Amino acid sequence: MEKYENIEIVGEGSYGLVMKCKHRETGQVVAIKKFLATEEDVQIRKMAFREIRMLKKLRHENLVNMIEVFRRRKRLYLVFEYLDHTVLDELEENKNGIDWEKSRRYIFQILRGLDFCHNHKIMHRDVKPENVLVSPNGVIKLCDFGFARYITNESCTDYVATRWYRAPELLIGDSKYGREIDVWAAGCIYAEMVTGQPLFPGDSDIDQLYRITKILGPLYKSMNGSGKHILRHTKPDETVSLTRSTSLRNLFPTWSSVAIDFLTQCLRTDPTFRPKCLTLLQHPFFLQDNFADRFLSELQRLVVKESAINLLGTKRAESSSRICRSSIGRLT
């Protein structure tokens, strides 16, 4: 820590804490994640090394940039580029929602970041407004990979992320979920960005299911059995009907048909029909008015501009620039 000056603590958790620091030589502000004594706690050590392995693979302009890792006094430290603004902050500043064009730019970048993760067999598992960083130039960066896991055929039973953005398969206790849960969360975030209000603000798992089915209709057949299992374990006044529903069109009557269809695809209750991120990036929602081509060119310029002030992450910035060009080629 000798080369960094600690400015303040900006976050704490069961794993340790996050500090805002300044690099003494360059003056660059960074975020440093300090883990608890990893030599003494097996679980903390396992979590830390898993996150480090993932972050070393995830070099993309729409993912937070890990600058370096070091160990001091039996503790691991992860150094990241520092951004103090999130989509949650924007929502708190804009109670009626973020404007249409900015929301489209943001969700486009969120999907690009997730697509890169999924291509590397990694699911984020905690996509929510506060984990979506926004640079001063509007470049989106997904952060906090503490809950991220590799995509395998094995069961995952330790999912603990925020309820409002949980896909139906998580709510009914399906332990063999995959990257589709990130797509669902992205859809929830998009609706919230446009309206200023969370789409499914449930106060329990059963209330969450109720809110989902009220808008999207009954759950798919293979999920209904598990859904009934949940209903049998609820209080009498929590019993809900899974048959009555409105629709996204009725809920958002002023939205364009292409925006409604985009959100509908993100929120397919059957994960087997929920599109991959790359498919969504090629949806007419992004192709109309030549948005994807125009914005990708602008994004590349913004990434190069921001890399000039990220002195500690020069190598990562160069890699990011190559990734951006690759993504442009893939989408055109």
Binding-site members are 34
Distance CA 36, CA 16 (A): 5
Which tokens hold the place of 14?
């069961």
Run of H or E including 67:
strand 66-72
Q: How many CB atoms lie within 10 A of CB 240?
A: 17
Distance CA 295, CA 307 (A): 18
Q: How many CB atoms lie within 10 A of CB 325?
A: 11
Name 228's Cβ contacts closer than 8 Å, sequence gap at least 6: none
The annotation places the binding site for ATP at 34
List the catalytic residues. 126
Using alpha carbons only, how large is the chain's radius of gyration in Å? 20
Amino acid at 23: H
3-class state of residue 29 by DSSP: strand
Distance CA 190, CA 111 (A): 11
Amino acid at 308: A
Distance CA 216, CA 74 (A): 50
Instruction: Yes or no: say if 183 and 275 are a contact pair by the CB < 8 Å rule.
Output: yes
DSSP class of 220: P
Which tokens hold the place of 54?
């993932």
